[in-house]
Amino acid sequence: MDFRKVQFCLSAHTVGQLPPPEYPEVAFAGRSNVGKSSLINRLVERVNLVKTSGKPGKTQSLNYFTVENTLYLVDLPGYGFARVSHQTRQKWEELIGGYIESRSTLVCVVVVIDLRHELKELDRELIQWLRYLDVPCLPVYTKADKLSFGRQQKHAALLDAGLTLYADQRIIFSARTGQGVAALRQHLTTYAAS
């Protein structure tokens, strides 16, 4: 699958605005500023397909892209930004919760996590909730270039333990160096045919 053959499709602000469920879709979730936009841009080899965030927590829409008319990529709004209002947080939960619970064509949620930091409660909760709903989830530990190889392994093992998963169930990634991008493409390609 050629991820460079990507096209913007639409932005949905409510579940009612989602496109018809024509293709399987992979959604990307993560805390604000974690590097989700950079990861998507690296995946599709575009500098600025997804705007890297100036204002964390601002985007409240689901942005849909198609790849080769066979797969949707869905950029979800970032979560966990401390300074958003209670109302904005509630809107996120309603929109994303409603989307994840109801979208029958959702085949995988890529959860982007910063490799350098301790596991955050919101990330753990999201992954537990996806498991409960039986939605496949792929944790991707990003910003790996900021750590030595030895530290990457050590930090990844801690995150794995916190999420109770094995090394082959997640990817260590860097948008800067491209580490892990081939593994991510390979993983997502398996969903295009589903």
Q: Which residues bind ligand GDP (CB under 6 A)?
A: 30, 32-38, 52-53, 56, 78, 142-143, 145-146, 174-176
- Looking at the Cβ atoms of 33 and 189, the one nearer to ligand GDP is 33
142: closest CA among 170, 182, 107?
170
**Nearest distance, CB of residue 35 and ligand GDP, angstroms:** 3
Look up tokens 């601002």; give the residue: 58
Which DSSP letter does residue 140 get? E
**Nearest distance, CB of residue 108 and ligand GDP, angstroms:** 18
**Nearest distance, CB of residue 20 and ligand GDP, angstroms:** 27
- Looking at the Cβ atoms of 48 and 104, the one nearer to ligand GDP is 48
Order of strands across the sheet that contains 25-30: 6-12, 62-67, 71-75, 25-30, 106-114, 137-142, 171-172
Integer angstrom CA distances of residue 122 from 12, 58, 103, 111: 23, 18, 21, 11
**Nearest distance, CB of residue 59 and ligand GDP, angstroms:** 9
- Looking at the Cβ atoms of 33 and 105, the one nearer to ligand GDP is 33
- Looking at the Cβ atoms of 24 and 77, the one nearer to ligand GDP is 77
**Nearest distance, CB of residue 67 and ligand GDP, angstroms:** 19
Rounded Cα distance between 8 and 65, Å, is 4
User: Quick check: 62 and 12 in contact, CB under 8 A?
Assistant: yes
- Looking at the Cβ atoms of 143 and 187, the one nearer to ligand GDP is 143
Q: Could you count the other beta carbons within 10 Å of the beta carbon of residue 4? A: 11
